[in-house]
């Protein structure tokens, strides 16, 4: 097991190396780390979102629901957040 002092030194070395990277390299590193934290993609979630999107599209196309413009939705949300 790594002692606290050794771990702090390792972290400092990693930070120094990261800071020496150019913007593109830092960006790629961040993307990789975020993907690692997110874990593997969940295909069932993507499938569920697609099914929901298709269902909502059908409801609008068939006139069962009325679409609300995004600016109106955001105005309502902003008004509620100010309360």
Domain positions in the chain are 4-38, 43-82
pLDDT tens per residue, range 36-67? 998 877 778 888 999 999 999 999 999 999 99
Whole-angstrom Cα distance, residue 27 to residue 55? 37
The answer to whether 18 and 29 are in contact (CB under 8 A) is yes
In tens, the pLDDT along 20-43 reads 999 999 999 999 999 899 887 777
Q: For the chain, how many residues are written?
A: 83
Backbone angles phi, psi at 63, to 5 degrees: 75, 15
Cα torsion angle, 47, 48, 53, 57, sign = positive
Place of tokens 């990693």: 14
pTM of the predicted model as reported, rounded to 2 decimal places: 0.43
């Amino acid at each position: 097991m790594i002692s606290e002092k050794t771990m702090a030194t390792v972290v400092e070395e990693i930070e120094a190396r990261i800071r020496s990277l150019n913007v593109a390299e830092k960006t790629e590193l961040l993307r990789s780390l975020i993907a690692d934290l997110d874990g593997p993609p969940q295909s069932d979630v993507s499938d569920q979102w697609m099914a929901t999107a298709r269902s909502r599209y059908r409801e609008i196309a068939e006139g069962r629901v009325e679409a609300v413009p995004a600016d109106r939705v955001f105005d309502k949300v902003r008004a509620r957040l100010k309360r």
